[in-house]
Chains A and B, each alone.
Chain A
């Protein structure tokens, strides 16, 4: 995966109100790319119209019976 550019990382950092020192940007970009790659695995799921689940659904037991 192409690495995220450092300018974008810095801008995102300002929005998140965290100070991201220049010397850390490359490694942060690498970690963010890893997270984005993981999230991309969800693209294969049919999620349109699916409601989000904020936590585990305890009704699972009944549904699986």
Chain B
């Protein structure tokens, strides 16, 4: 950690919430600190497409007034949160990172998750950079907070960058093939892909209907759980239920096949260290063989591609030139894919869900753990993951290889930082639980987080030093 005290924007949500209630920090001061951090870091990382400073300041002032009057909306009251730019925020165009939507009208109303955040008292800071229509893992022009010559991952890249740097205390992303977990892993923050269907996707631009999920990114597991609780559909169990529990009696499966094949050595070492920590914390670790994992990825890939072309069929016919070249190629290819192939992928989903359920039942598992990505952040000028045998894999295929199986199964998955590779780039470990088991994956992730203390990105230190590292009130 830096020698200087953290600015308010470097506090966790829990820490900030405590200070707000004691009257030792105001929501306006917290927002000002976030805006200062945005000003200091945006030229390097381009996390935001728009910062809603005026609206956010008014919301922060209202939050302070409410607290003074004894109206406390809960743990997110006065907390600055950023929103991925495929999610509607009332009064702001949702441009989805695409020229297709360059003339989009301002959204008429908030997406369901944004409305729930506001109801919980959150202050919406702005909208974050996304890969075009959330279809990809690069998120240009956003850059990685640990090394701005590298990509942040995607498609919720701007959300992960903002959280890593203190340009927001939490952010909303979406995960159809790994788009919360991949940037969380590459930027060294926590990302939760919830159980499919647990958070309403109303007001979120679709990528693939049967796979799309909305999820939070935050700097700690407890903070991610707080945001999940605020935006989850009514009646869902709290993700915070087990945060204070230890790992005694927890059984964790390690699926070596598929998930530990063709992985950079620095990633494998950090994840294996994380697994040893989980064992030391009391969890029982068992090696398991999920034979259908590669097929799960393949089926998820096919469904993702075909459903996304259905979303964009009209646009592809009427304004193909407005799509970025990469997405246009992807859509054109998927438009030609035979229907029978899509149907077989849906059949595979039935089989794969049964096999992973059987795996949990047979081994009495609480979770599976694996690397979130097979490699750390790739250079922005060479979009490949390079392995120790010299082989290269395009980032779009590499980063989704380990995340996509769980989009097919629909189970909740938490990506937690577990260390660094030899270049000093963060590595993420993903924890996949049973459907509806957000509390259990957060329990495991929180325990791991206590065991592995990680520093903040260099850019955050630079910004702290520039502002003199104001004393925490």
Contacts and interface: CB of A to CB of B under 8 A. Distances in A.
Interface of A: 9, 12-13, 16-20, 24, 27-28, 31-32, 34-36, 38-39, 41-42, 44-47, 50-58, 60-61, 63-65
Contacts of B295: 41-42, 44-45
Given A38-B298, A57-B410, A18 B357 contact: no
A11 B202 CA distance: 37
Contacts of A52: 343, 346-347, 349-350
Contact of B336 (A9, A38, A47, A64): A9
Interface of B: 195-197, 209-210, 292, 294-295, 297-299, 301-302, 305, 316-317, 320, 329-330, 332-337, 341, 343-351, 353-354, 356-358, 360-361, 409-411, 434-437
A24 B336 CA distance: 14
A56 B357 contact: no
A2 B337 CA distance: 16
B171 to A, nearest CB: 24
Nearest to B331: A18
Nearest to A25: B332
Contacts of B297: 41
A56 B298 contact: no
Contact of A47 (B301, B344, B354): B344
A53 B336 contact: no
User: Counting chain A CB atoms within 10 Å of each CB, which of B210, B336, B349, B409 scores highest?
Assistant: B336
Given A31-B330, A51-B347, A53-B350, A36 B294 contact: no
A44 B258 CA distance: 15
B345 A39 contact: yes
A47 B347 contact: yes
A46 B351 contact: yes
Given A35-B301, A50-B348, A55-B410, 10 more contacts: A13-B332, A13-B336, A16-B336, A18-B317, A24-B329, A41-B294, A56-B195, A56-B353, A60-B411, A64-B357
Contact of B301 (A18, A19, A38): A38
List 8 A-B pairs, minimum CB-CB distance, nearest first: A56-B410, A52-B346, A31-B333, A41-B298, A56-B196, A64-B360, A12-B336, A64-B357
A63 B354 contact: yes
B436 A61 contact: yes
Contacts of A58: 197, 410, 435
B361 A31 contact: no
A34 B410 CA distance: 24
Contacts of A35: 301-302, 305, 333-334, 337
